[in-house]
Each structure stands twice: as C-alpha cells, then as structure tokens.
Structure 1
Amino acid sequence: MSHSHSSNSSNNIVGTHYRVGKKIGEGSFGVIFEGTNLLNSQTVAIKFEPRKAEAPQLRDECRSYRILAGCPGIPQIYHFGQEGLHNILVIDLLGPSLEDLFDMCGRKFSIKTVCMAARQMISRVQTIHDKNLIYRDIKPDNFLIGRPGTKNANVVHVVDFGMAKQYRDPKTKQHIPYRERKSLSGTARYMSINTHLGREQSRRDDLESLGHVFMYFLRGSLPWQGLKAATNKQKYEKIGEKKQTTPIKELCDGFPEEFGIYLNYVRKLGFEETPDYEFLRELFGKILKNNGDVEDGVYDWNLLNGGKGWEASVVRFSVFECLPWK
C-alpha cells in the first residue's frame, strides 16, 4: 500500500502515528476528537483548530502546557503541529468536567465534595501562578477529573489555557503594571469584581473566581445568574453590579463561615500581592474536620448509581459527550 497522503487521510492518521476517532466536543476554537497513539495504543485527545482562525489559541495554549509540564493535575501534551488546514494538539484524554459531574449529581455538591475539590483547585491555580502565569478563565467546565480506572481518576486537572497570560517576568519576577479600561475576558458568571471594573487581572482574580465557583457548587446557582439585558455589555455590567451589591455574608449564608472568610480574603488582596495559598487550602481542611469528614477522595460522583460511580451511568450519559473543551 502506498504511503501517500491519501492513504493516511482515509485512515485518519495525524502527527505520523495518531489515529483520529470520534468527535467528543467542540468549542469556539474548533473540534476535539478522541484518538489513539498507534505506537502504544494509548487513548488521547486531539484538538483541531483551523489555521485561519481569527484568534488562534492552540500554539499559545501548547506553550502553557509545556511550561507546566510534569506538574500534578496538568494534562501531558504529546504533539503539536500542522495538519492540512488545521493546527492540532495531541493531549491526555481526561474524564468529565466538574460542570458535567455537577449536572450528574443534580446540580448540588455536598460540603465535603466542594471542600476536597477546592483544595485541589487552589493547588492547581497555585501551580499555574508559581510558573508565572495567570489563568483568567476559571469555570467548572475547565476542571476535569481523570479517566475512570486510572490512578488519576479523582485528580482534578485544569485544561484549556487559551486565556492564560504571563503576569511577571520569569527571571526578574517583575510584575506586569496595573492598568484599567481593559476589555472583559473570562466567563461573566465567575469573574472577579475587579475584572468587571476593567482592571488588569492578577493572581487575586483567579482565586476570587474560584470562590464564586465554590459558592455555585454549594448553592446550585449564583444570585447574578439569569439577569437579562439588551446587549452583552449591559449584561456584564448588570452581573458586575449584582456582585458588588451582594454581601458576602448573604452569598455564603447557611454554609460554614470559612467560605465567607475565603472570599473576604481574596477580594482584599492587592494587585501584586502573593496570596497565602496554604491558608486558603487549610480553610477547607478546617471545614472537613469540623464536619467530621475525612479527605478520603470519595466525592459525590463516586456515590452515584448505588456506589458504582458516575461511570456506571455511561449508557444514559455517554462519557465521551461530556469531555473537555466544549
């Protein structure tokens, strides 16, 4: 059989030895497929982005993954290159996102699950910050657990670095300057108040967004969800106003005080200030202890289907429809 390009495309081979399988998701950037490394039969994810995309992200995203390579909860990247009219990125295939799992669990997480997940999520964000990057797009959709049956099955991973940015010089550690009148980037529901106000983002904003995610998980929704406005700009403004006028006490009412302490702390951080990640992680350790819970790695999604876990509902809810980077 000839090794011409046509024989390859009929077999759907990219990057010399990756076979492209079924589509598992899509988003603004392009499409993501399940794939197989033909050299070792490993299942991978293959992200495709049109090379003519208005704002190509894949190359930058690839750069972020390389900077973070080998850190816990960061998927490994295997190949980046061009394939016809697309850029492609071959990366670890992971399980569902926390948003998918939240849906499977009836759109409420227990305090225990939120605390265990929070401790991992703070560590991921710290890892990113330690490598001189800020993430700038914190949302439950971008945190994925591992694949069932692997040693990383309940490790919370962070994916999709399309919005990440360097906030300080890796050598001198000189911080980026404070600026205002920035256009909004990120997901309005979770973004920090300072981001709504058009202020340059820094480490504090990633952590504030996490705090909003934690409250979303506990409450099932946030008070600024579902606001209507004529334009997106007006909607962003409305959401920002509601965030500023909702007291933390009210937002966290009925939940352990540490959730409020977390939000108060991160909202008071200075633009260049280094957060005390250990203090923040320990807040959630304290809640677990006060509730008589142990950090045993048993999450709400592991208790679904009579203890068989989320993966047992795969018939009803195909795991591959809910994979990364929607």
Structure 2
Amino acid sequence: MKDILVNKRYRVDRRIGEGGFGLVYAGIDIETKEEVAIKLARIRDGPEALQYEADTYAELSGGVGIPRVFWFGPEGDFYVLVYELLGPSLEDLFNYCDRKFSLKTVLLIADQAIHRIKHIHNKGYLHCDIKPDNFLLGVGNKGNILYTIDFGLARNIDADEGHGIQDDRPLGGTARYASLNNHEGLEQSRSDDLESLGYVLLYFVCGSLPWQGLKTSTDKERTELIKQKKTNIIREDLCKELPEEFSTYITYVRTLRPAEKPDYTYLLGLFNKLFVAKGFQYDNIFDWTEKIFLELQSTTSAEN
C-alpha cells in the first residue's frame, strides 16, 4: 500500500491500525505537508459501512474531539476515508502505564468522554462501540483532547422511541464493554453508550473487569459467559473498594428507559464532585504525562 496516491493528493505511508471495516494508514497531504489518517475498505465488500462512517463524521463535525474529515470516495479497488491523524488510543496509553490508571486520570477521562458522548447523542447518533481503542488523544497542541473515532457501527436515534433506528447492519460492539441490552440483542439507546463507558472506566481504575480471561472453546461461548457474569454480578461487588460514585453511575445508566434522555449534567457533576473532594486539579496532567516527563528527565540526567 505504501506510496499509493489517493485523490491525487494524499500519499499512503505506513499502516497504523485496523478500525471497524477497514485498515488504517498514516499518510501525507502532499499539498499542505500535513500528516493524515487514511482508512481503506475494499470496494468488493460494499461501500455501506465506510460511507455511513464518513456521513456520520460530517454530521458530527465541529464538535470538540471529533476528527476532521478531508475526503471520502473510491480509489482503485478501495473506498477511502481521509481524516485528521490522531495520537495514541487510551488502550495504548493504558498498556504504557502498566495497565492501571490513577483515580485522577480516570476522572479526567470520564469528564471528556461524557462530553463526547453527549455531543454524539445531541446530533442524533449512537456510537454503539464505546471502548478504549475508540478514544484517541490529539497531537501537538491538541494532545490533551480526547477524540472519539470509528463510527462504522453508529446508528441514528429514533426521535420518538429513543433507540437506534434499525437498518440492515447487524448489532455489534465489543463483548467486554457491551451493555446488557446489547447482550440480549435489543436495539440500543443512549443509555447503552453510557453503560459501555462505565465498564471502560471500571476497567481503567481496577486494571481489569471480572468477566475478562474466561476460558471457552468458541467466541460465542465466551460472549455468553461474559453476558452471564455481567448480568449476575452485584453492582456493589463490581465497584467494590471504589468510591460510591462509580456504583451510582452504573445504577443510573442501567435503569434509564430507552426513550429517556440521560441527565449528562448529573453524570458530569457526579464525577466532578468526587474530583474536587479528592483535591485533584484540572491541570490536564494524566498518568502518561507524568511518566513521559520522568522518562525524559531520566534520559537527560543520564546524558549529562
């Protein structure tokens, strides 16, 4: 794929990941010399998913933490989506920080993530695949901004019913973070995105989730076991030894009715009050910020 020119302007460089329905490459805009991300999906697989993702980005454009899209269209054997190049994902940073985030970092993530989900919902969409890999940091002077990506599974919200409008795409998502409704095969609503975020936050603050590492012979069996474990676990045990705000959050989002609009201000305030009570500062210093600083300091000292 290297050195392929897309739309006579965007040069494909190196592969950097795999998103829903396509491979993702870093590339260069040869006119502006700006780095971009280039997502490719084979034409023979159909344009629907990548077309829908491009359309969703267009509808969400202008919101904080939504990547800019530069071009979408066919090129050779592929449909191509060219968009703003971003930094590492929260999953990458979680691994970098030895698979455990401090409470402060988790609360900083929660604040931005709830704002992103609120914007997506207010624009009439559900994300339907909230997970650490789909939250990325910006680059340069946007390095502290959390971005939401990968809208291949996103759905429009039915204005009357509050759940996603059915189409010919299957229900999807990632079993580890899937809501209980998703496990049951039910149409998702705004509460399901927020429930998935709750599991992401617990994963970060605890280091793992109780339904990880289950041994089964097939993916179908594993998904069913995850569903059973997730359904039967007592919320107090799920959030054991954590501040009560985490249990309150999970309880709230699980009990929302499909047509009910979440109280995002309440959820933001829940974690904000905890943040202030712990004496933390909104200084955008995350765990990885401190680790990078200490590593640079150590390298400088060694060189001197």
Shift of 1:196: 1.1
Q: Distance in 1 between matches of 2:219 and 2:238?
A: 24
What secondary structure does 2:142 align onto? coil
Shift of 1:10: 9.2
Whose helix proportion is higher, 1 or 2? 2
Instruction: Identify if the C-alpha distance between structure 1 residues 246 and 85 changes in structure 2 by more than 3 Å, giving closer, same or farther.
Output: same
What secondary structure does 1:127 align onto? helix
Q: Are positions 1:18 and 2:5 aligned together?
A: no
RMSD of the alignment, in Å? 2.2
Match of residue 211 from structure 1: 198
CA contact (8 A) 1:204 1:269 kept: yes
In structure 1, list runs of 5 or more residues that go unmatched: 1-8, 313-326
The aligned amino acid for 2:76 is G
Q: Are positions 1:111 and 2:103 aligned together?
A: yes
Q: Normalising by structure 2, report the TM-score.
A: 0.91
CA contact (8 A) 1:184 1:196 kept: no
Shift of 1:122: 0.5
Q: Are positions 1:220 and 2:212 aligned together?
A: no
CA contact (8 A) 1:49 1:56 kept: no
Give the one of 81, 85, 89 matched to 2:81.
89
Give the one of 53, 56, 76 matched to 1:61.
53
Runs of 4+ deviating beyond 4 Å: 176-179
Give the one of 145, 151, 158 matched to 1:168.
158
In structure 2, list runs of 5 or more residues that go unmatched: 300-304
Aligned-residue sequence identity (percent) comes to 44
Match of residue 137 from structure 1: 129
Per-residue Cα deviation, 1:69-103 (whole angstroms, up to 9, x for no partner): 11100000000011000001110000000000000
The aligned amino acid for 1:166 is N
Q: Are positions 1:154 and 2:169 aligned together?
A: no
What secondary structure does 2:191 align onto? helix
Superposed, 1:65-76 pairs within 5 Å as 65-76=57-68
What secondary structure does 2:241 align onto? coil
Q: Distance in 2 between matches of 1:176 and 1:252?
A: 27
Q: Distance in 2 between matches of 1:18 and 1:232?
A: 38
Q: Normalising by structure 1, report the TM-score.
A: 0.85
What secondary structure does 1:26 align onto? strand
Shift of 1:139: 0.4
The aligned amino acid for 1:284 is F
Shift of 1:308: 5.6
Superposed, 1:288-299 pairs within 5 Å as 288-299=275-286
